[in-house]
Amino acid sequence: MRITILGSGTSTGVPYLNCTCEVCRSADPRDARLRCSALVEVQGKTLLIDCGPDFRQQMLHRPTPAIDAVLLTHEHYDHVAGIDDLRPYGDVDIYGEERVCQAVRRNLPYCFAETHYPGTPHLHLHTIGLTPFEAAGVNVQPIRCYHAQLPIVGYRVGPMAYLTDISRIDDDQFPLLENLEVLIVDALRQTPHFSHFMLSEAQDFAKRTGAKRVYFTHICHQMGIYADVEPSLPDNQQLCYDGMEIVIGE
């Protein structure tokens, strides 16, 4: 399995517009973060987790003949605003909770009109619950997460779990996160936030799952300079950066 971090940034991206902090001015490409998304290649299939406003830019110069399924975590703009740009991939199956599917229909009514408007994307929405489902023949386990009060989902695919925009999880979800090789989890910054884990919370959470390797994503400019923060992390933990590839079992 190969996971490519297409974007590791929070909803605003980094640099934050008009900000002159040292992170936003950094010349290190690892400090420039597009909106949060990942590509998962497994069993000969390509799954996209979230499709934000930077999707087109993220896929430029990244030949990917097919996107076999799109897994949506929730309906916030930074996770769904790129869906119209899925057009070049033909018929696309999109999976999300009922509320999320409704939001996609509302955002892109012309894609779901009775008479299909020529040239618009062919999207097939699939409503999921919290039980495992198959996306392009790949088994996917949804994980219930809370983004402040909003119930959203993270996804486990085999030995990998991807949990973004999370500030809380119920105890009954931990058994679904056993024996992880890789955990990719939200860590916004180093100070508390109402709807995201801060770094120390993400680290405590990761420890409780027992995941072997941990990668932090959905990072904002207040995390600090990559080259400063990275050395402070334990050996099995890493900050994501855009374009990072995580390989399992090859």
Q: Based on CB atoms, which residue is closest to Zn ion, 138 or 226?
A: 226
> Any contact of residue 189 with Zn ion (CB under 5 A)?
no
137: how many CB neighbours lie within 10 A of its CB? 11
What CA–CA distance (Å, rounded) separates 53 from 36? 9
Stretch that binds Zn ion, among 63-71, 80-88, 123-131, 157-165 (CB under 5 A): 157-165
- The mark string for 19-38 relative to Zn ion (x by CB under 5 A, - otherwise) is x-x--x--------------
Residue 150 makes contact with Zn ion by CB under 5 A: no
Task: Rule CB under 5 A: say whether 221 interacts with Zn ion.
Answer: yes
- For position 75 contacting Zn ion by CB under 5 A, the verdict is no
Applying CB under 5 A, does 133 fall inside the site for Zn ion?
no
Token digits of residue 160 = 């990998």
Q: How far is the CB of 221 from Zn ion (least distance, A)?
A: 3
**Interatomic CA distance for residues 87 and 83, integer angstroms:** 8
Q: Which two tokens stand for residue 101?
A: 């599917």
Q: Work out whether 148 is an interface residue with Zn ion (CB under 5 A).
A: no
Task: Specify the amino acid at residue 137.
Answer: G
Instruction: Please identify, among the stretches 17-25, 112-120, 177-185, 236-244, the one whose residues bind Zn ion according to the rule CB under 5 A.
Output: 17-25
How many Å apart are CA 113 and CA 121, to the nearest integer? 11
Helices (H), the chain: 22-25, 55-59, 77-80, 98-107, 199-209, 226-229
Helix (H/G/I), strand (E/B), else coil: 230: helix
- Cβ 130 to Zn ion, closest distance in Å? 19
Per CB under 5 A, the segment of 95-103, 111-119, 162-170, 199-207 that binds Zn ion is 162-170
Token readout for 158 is 């085999």
Query: Using the rule CB under 5 A, is 227 a contact of Zn ion?
Result: no
Does 78 bind Zn ion (CB under 5 A)? Our answer is: yes
* Residue 76 within binding range of Zn ion, rule CB under 5 A: yes
The bridge status of strand 138-147 relative to strand 133-135 is antiparallel
Structure-token pair, residue 45: 């299939």
186 contacts Zn ion (rule: CB under 5 A): no
Q: Which residues bind Zn ion (CB under 5 A)?
A: 11, 16, 19, 21, 24, 76, 78, 165, 221
